[in-house]
Amino acid sequence: MEPLITNLDGNCLYNAITVLMPNFEASPIKLRVRANVELAVKLKDYQQTYPHCTDFIDPFPQYQRTEMIYDKNYSTLWEILVLCNILQCSIRSVYPKIKEDADDAGIQHQQSLMWTHTAEEDTVRAVNYGMWVPNHFVPLVYHYDTKSLFKIEQHPPP
């Protein structure tokens, strides 16, 4: 799979979705608004459907009030769960190969997003007590798709 470039404006999850689903006619900000409304209206449903997730993601009311409602702010698992429902597809969360990580095969009706970082791995580890911590999403497409549908760009060297 090939990572594609998206805007580094803080809406990277929503930007990645609009790149992967160009026929879904919604801007990143419209997707963010729809995600906010969906989660506010159906919060109890999401909490009941994904009880295992509530232990490791921010409490929703606080997260929505302080983070999710603001344009160009980072996204969490809440948005991924909601976007799956809004877009009627599964979203596969992929990390770049760091050490011995493996890549799994995909399924149909699935969009793949890779968690990555805007800085080099050594720099990220230096400021995070030796841990690699992601801060950015990029869409992933299979290599054969990239020739006809997308323009692949490389980040300039630091």
Alpha-carbon distance of 111 to 28, in angstroms, equals 16
Q: Evaluate whether residue 155 is within a structural domain.
A: no
Q: Evaluate whether residue 157 is within a structural domain.
A: no
Q: Evaluate whether residue 66 is within a structural domain.
A: yes
User: In which band, very low, low, confident or very high, does the pLDDT at 106 lie, cut at 50, 70 and 90?
Assistant: very low
Give the C-alpha distances (Å, rounded to integers) separating 41 from 19, 34, 45, 75: 27, 11, 9, 18
User: In which band, very low, low, confident or very high, does the pLDDT at 29 lie, cut at 50, 70 and 90?
Assistant: very high
User: In which band, very low, low, confident or very high, does the pLDDT at 96 lie, cut at 50, 70 and 90?
Assistant: low
Q: Evaluate whether residue 73 is within a structural domain.
A: yes
Is residue 7 a contact partner of residue 155, using CB atoms and an 8 Å limit? no
Enter the DSSP assignment of 65. Answer: I
> What mean pLDDT comes out for the span 104-128?
76
pLDDT at 57 over 50: yes
Among 92-96, 102-106, 119-123, where is mean pLDDT lowest?
A: 102-106
User: In which band, very low, low, confident or very high, does the pLDDT at 138 lie, cut at 50, 70 and 90?
Assistant: confident
Burial of 8-23, coded b for 16+ CB within 10 Å and e otherwise, reads: eebbbbbbbbbbbbee
> What mean pLDDT comes out for the span 106-125?
77
Q: Evaluate whether residue 54 is within a structural domain.
A: yes
Tokens 């999401």 sit at which residue? 46
Q: Say which CATH number the domain at 14 has.
A: 3.90.70.80
Which stretch, 58-72, 104-118, 135-149, has highest mean pLDDT? 58-72
Q: Evaluate whether residue 158 is within a structural domain.
A: no
Structure confidence at residue 105 (pLDDT): 46
Domains contained in the chain, number: 1
Among 46-55, 60-69, 79-88, 94-103, where is mean pLDDT lowest?
A: 94-103
Q: Is the pTM of this model over 0.75?
A: no
Structure confidence at residue 55 (pLDDT): 66
Alpha-carbon distance of 106 to 12, in angstroms, equals 21
Phi, psi of 137 (to 5 degrees): -110, 145
Structure confidence at residue 31 (pLDDT): 93
Looking at the DSSP assignment, which residues form a beta bridge with residue 139? 113
Q: Evaluate whether residue 114 is within a structural domain.
A: yes
Domain range holding 15? Answer: 2-149
Q: For residue 100, how many C-alpha atoms fall within 13 Å in the half-sphere facing its CB? A: 0
Alpha-carbon distance of 78 to 63, in angstroms, equals 9
